[in-house]
Structure 1
């Protein structure tokens, strides 16, 4: 049996494995994508016109790269060393873009900058306890700033912290699991208001193929 630690970071290190022996090409960054289905749903306009943005859980970094190419100063934080290095390689020549390998909670505790927009597309917000994460985001969001995130539409009745497995991880006999926090639009709205956010909007964007859609949530910080 493998002696590798059962950590979420290891899960994400292997989440998008190396795709062959040839150098990998960066993904397209032609449009900001909330849904994972190109051309479906709104784009970067959800964030308004920020000068600075913080991406929590950028994976391969295409949304962060899109914003940076638009002139936004973007910092993208991911606690998977493998994903961070992959994104840095993809977007090394993109100005205004910095990929940081760190836990989202630790980063928000230690970095005192304020951000015009903080967002997460199927990223860290989905996989972090909101009662720990939301107060930290509220402290780092500039007055009037936008907080936005998306995740898969939850299955009816599967709300709160849900286990997500990974038996598919190559070379592992034991299963890695992570927790993801998923809620209905009404539940997310209540959580955000409880933590001081205002102008909360939460909606499900349907999938064109009839599968589960994408839940998109936005809120502002007026303090």
Structure 2
């Protein structure tokens, strides 16, 4: 019998404590990676030269810390209390960087601050209905602002919200599942166009080894 999807926060709060043993050291923030292969693909230049950015779903905060260390004012929002606590402990001494516990759409709807760029690296964009998220993103971008995100290459023949199972939790309280949204690049382009984005580039970046999973890369702007 299939498990009902949990809230994303519950999924990640349960998942993260079992990733390894003991206290996890802070990751290295010496580069900005959009893919799961370190040093592969574009870096922070995909965001242009922003002064203020918002990250949706920062996990341990490596990319956010990288930008903050370069002088960018960074706010990073994550719905997992576990992840936010870990990120704050890792980067507590980094100026210009704040981690906020909250859901992406709620956070975007609750404030008026505008950002030069909003981005997500295998983060909240993957796990949020774009029909709800994208209008909120466009309202919080400054004129000409960049919206960029990455996630796993979509599985051929699958489209829309798909279940992701927490197999690593087998034998614990219960197996958790969560929904993630995946579309082909041309579908992401159409969705972004409908919500007023321009200069859209959506494509699959192949992995360093062709037989490995590639990365969906998407970048767009709001009009000036």
Give the TM interval when normalised to the shorter protein: over 0.9
Contact 2:152/2:213, CA 8 A, preserved across alignment: yes
Which residue of the partner structure matches residue 222 of structure 2?
221
1:95-122 C-alpha deviation (Å, 9 max, x unpaired)? 1000000000110010210000000000
TM-score between the two structures when normalised by the length of structure 2: 0.93
Q: What secondary structure, in the 3-state scheme, does the structure 1 residue paired with 2:143 have?
A: strand
Contact 1:47/1:146, CA 8 A, preserved across alignment: yes
Larger mean Cα displacement after TM superposition, 205-214 or 191-200: 205-214
Which residue of the partner structure matches residue 160 of structure 2?
160
- Distance in 2 between residues matched to 1:197 and 1:81, nearest whole Å: 31
Contact 2:8/2:127, CA 8 A, preserved across alignment: no
Backbone CA RMSD of aligned residues: 1.4
Larger mean Cα displacement after TM superposition, 38-47 or 9-18: 9-18
Which residue of the partner structure matches residue 48 of structure 2?
48
Which residue of the partner structure matches residue 100 of structure 2?
100
Q: What secondary structure, in the 3-state scheme, does the structure 1 residue paired with 2:28 have?
A: coil
TM-score between the two structures when normalised by the length of structure 1: 0.94
Which residue of the partner structure matches residue 71 of structure 1?
71
- Distance in 2 between residues matched to 1:16 and 1:66, nearest whole Å: 22
Unaligned runs of 5+ in 1: none
Asked whether 1:13 is paired with 2:20, we answer no
Which residue of the partner structure matches residue 182 of structure 1?
182
- Distance in 2 between residues matched to 1:31 and 1:6, nearest whole Å: 33
Q: What secondary structure, in the 3-state scheme, does the structure 2 residue paired with 1:95 have?
A: coil
Once the two structures are TM-superposed, the CA of residue 88 in structure 1 deviates from its matched residue by 0.3
Contact 1:7/1:176, CA 8 A, preserved across alignment: no
Contact 1:109/1:136, CA 8 A, preserved across alignment: yes
Once the two structures are TM-superposed, the CA of residue 36 in structure 1 deviates from its matched residue by 1.5
